[in-house]
Amino acid sequence: MFTGIIEDVGVIKSLTPTGEDIRLSIDVNKLDMSDVKLGDSIANNGVCLTVVAMSSNGFSADVSHETIKRTGFVAYKAGHKVNLEKALQANSRLGGHIVSGHVDGVGQVLSVTTVGRYVEIWLKAPDELAKYLAEKGSITVDGVSLTVNQVNGAKFLLTLIPHSLQETIIGSYKVGTKVNLEVDVIARYLERLIMGDKAAQEQNDNAKSDISMAFLAENGFLR
């Protein structure tokens, strides 16, 4: 479990194929590794990975075929920078929102506009994630907990403060950049909850949820 508050920006040192999977080696910058041990979880651009080896200046983790397929890791190369966050501890502040480290889809940057000291970024999420986007709701972008400021279909607007731009890889975003997205976990559970008894019914792989804006309105979730 994570909060979406980035602790460091690391650099991919190497990606070594191991069959259909890869061994990822990361060099850290300021991340405190003194309390990290084998088996611990560290989020890399929002992807929860298990530490399988440690070095003097970083760590290694295995990335499964499933993770490669569902995230931006498919395009990552040595030298690529990644947002890093160690797993949440019970006595830590929940400064962002509850983040699982399980990416729901890959989005794309549509525009980057500087407004004074801030930067506004429009992104496009996969169509199937549009129902989870809510104005002033939370979303995780490459592991960063952010607030959605506007929604237009599957497009959404983020407003980044200077600190976020400096302390994460978001400051390097440009039109076309692919990003890992994780929707608010509360929205996921709400979807299942309002399905009621239908949640127990098996669906084929191509089946889509019948939860729509009209359904939500009819059942009192929207006004």
30-62 per-position pLDDT tens digit? 999 999 999 999 999 999 999 999 999 999 999
Query: What confidence category does residue 221 fall into, taking pLDDT thresholds of 50, 70 and 90?
Result: very low
Residue-range domain boundaries for the chain: 8-86, 105-185, 193-218
CATH fold for the domain made of 105-185: Elongation Factor Tu (Ef-tu); domain 3 (2.40.30)
Per-residue H/E/C for the chain: CECCCCCEEEEEEEEEEECCEEEEEEECCCCCCCCCCCCCEEEECCEEEEEEEEECCEEEEEECHHHHHHCHHHHCCCCCEEEEEECCCCCCCCCCCCECCCCCEEEEEEEEEEECCEEEEEEECCHHHHHHCCCCCEEEECCEEEECCEEECCEEEEEECHHHHHHCHHHHCCCCCEEEEEECHHHHHHHHHHHHHHHHCCCCCCCCCCCCHHHHHHCCCCC
In tens, the pLDDT along 132-150 reads: 999 999 999 999 999 999 9
CATH node for 8-86: 2.40.30.20
Q: What is the pTM of this model?
A: 0.86
